[in-house]
Amino acid sequence: MILSVALVLVSAGLYTLHFMLFRDANYIFEYFLNDIAFLPFQVLLVTLIINQLLSDLEKKAKLKK
């Protein structure tokens, strides 16, 4: 939970810094929407990769026993 809050705060800080440097809220909004649009795809990829890694570790553990 603490890590989640920290990551959200870092993200908000970076968006704020970007706005302070470039003063272009429209670009930030479009970039944010693009990030949200690809979020389900990124979650799918990470889930598949983690699932594969866990399966491989489980197989190695079974073979070791």
pLDDT band, very low/low/confident/very high, at 6 (cuts 50, 70, 90): very high
What is the pLDDT averaged over residues 17-35? 90
pLDDT band at 31 (very low <50, low <70, confident <90, very high): confident
Q: Is residue 35 within 8 Å of residue 15, measured between CB atoms? A: no
Q: Please answer whether residues 25 and 19 qualify as being in contact, where contact means their C-beta atoms are separated by less than 8 angstroms.
A: yes
Kindly report whether the global pTM for this prediction surpasses the value 0.75: no
Q: Element (H or E) spanning 21, and its range?
A: helix 2-22
Whole-angstrom distance, CA of residue 18 vs CA of residue 21 = 5
Q: Is the separation of the CB atoms in 53 and 63 below 8 Å?
A: no
pLDDT of residue 13 exceeding 90, the answer is: yes
Q: Each residue of 49-60: pLDDT tens digit?
A: 999 999 999 999
